[in-house]
Structure 1
Amino acid sequence: MVGIKKLEEKEINLKISKKLQKLLEKEGYQVIMTRSEDGGLYDADSRNKKVQDMQKRCELIREKKPLLTVSIHQNSYPDEAVCGPQVFYFTHSAEGGKLAKCIQDAMNSQLDVSRPRVEKANSTYYLLKRSEGILNIVECGFLSNTKEAGLLETDEYQDKVAEAVRDGILTYLGDAES
């Protein structure tokens, strides 16, 4: 997706993901990235690159069996006024819902969100319904909103987003251990 000021979602996703990886590794966690460079998980001659990319992500999750999975994204909407981070989890995953609440709460409180959202169940997103284990899709903000797009392109705000997601994950893991 390309947003306001020609911002590319894939670039911002990768930057925030790498920042989150470093933060979690500092906490002692091993992080497995589905990608660490610009490029998808598909064959160059694939007829449907997006589907093959999603299938390979699900295969990687099945193979590695991570404690949890967080997929970083940026949102868009035709109404430019729509803004704020939104965390999605699979409708039938109680643990996914708990993780989503922890991440959503951290993002709402740490990113000065004007209209805080709540975590949202979803049963149609490919990764949510086809992945094993606990998985959240974290929409960090709207690239279709001028103010948020301006924030999301800065290193400082990307750091804040990564820190909020880390804090949500750590809260969940702390709650899960007790």
Structure 2
Amino acid sequence: MTSTSSVRRVALLAAALAALAVSCGTTPEPDRAAGPGTATTASASATTGAPEATAADPTTAPAEPDGTPTTTGEKVRDAFATLQATLNDSCAADCSYFLNRVHRELQELDAAMKADPKGPGHFPEPIQKIAELNKTLAGDTSFENLKKHEKLLVGTRDFINTWMQGHPDDYR
């Protein structure tokens, strides 16, 4: 299974090696400089240079809007990690940024859970809590409305954090 981060690391390593070779006055051999899984050993998207998803690899999902491929099992983990990054934040510094970020992270986690190969039924409580939040917000994501419902917004985040901690197979 190839993750997006692994593909990026290999590409960065190949670029660094090529730059080093140029600075030393040598030209690397194409097959060796590219490393395994790149250049002539793997197909790449003409527009992004990233390996394309194939039907033979069920762990690779369609590309993200920026063209990077995603591994479906990682989407929930990554979305949860970015939500967890808000746990030590509050409205103390930049309240508008904080509330909008928590809202955005919840929406991204909701989408990842619904798209997960395990199916949305695997995440019933988090999806339900986010649906309740969205119903209360009624599509109004203005700062004033998010501030009005700050307790529900932060409470939804905290509930999902606790729920996910009880389901470590979903985020590790």
User: TM-score if structure 2 supplies the norm length?
Assistant: 0.29
Normalized per residue, the structure richer in strand is: 1
Normalized per residue, the structure richer in helix is: 2
Using CA pairs under 8 Å that are at least 6 residues apart, name the structure with larger relative contact order, 1 or 2. 1
Question: Based on CA coordinates, which of the two structures has the bigger radius of gyration?
Answer: 2
User: TM-score if structure 1 supplies the norm length?
Assistant: 0.28
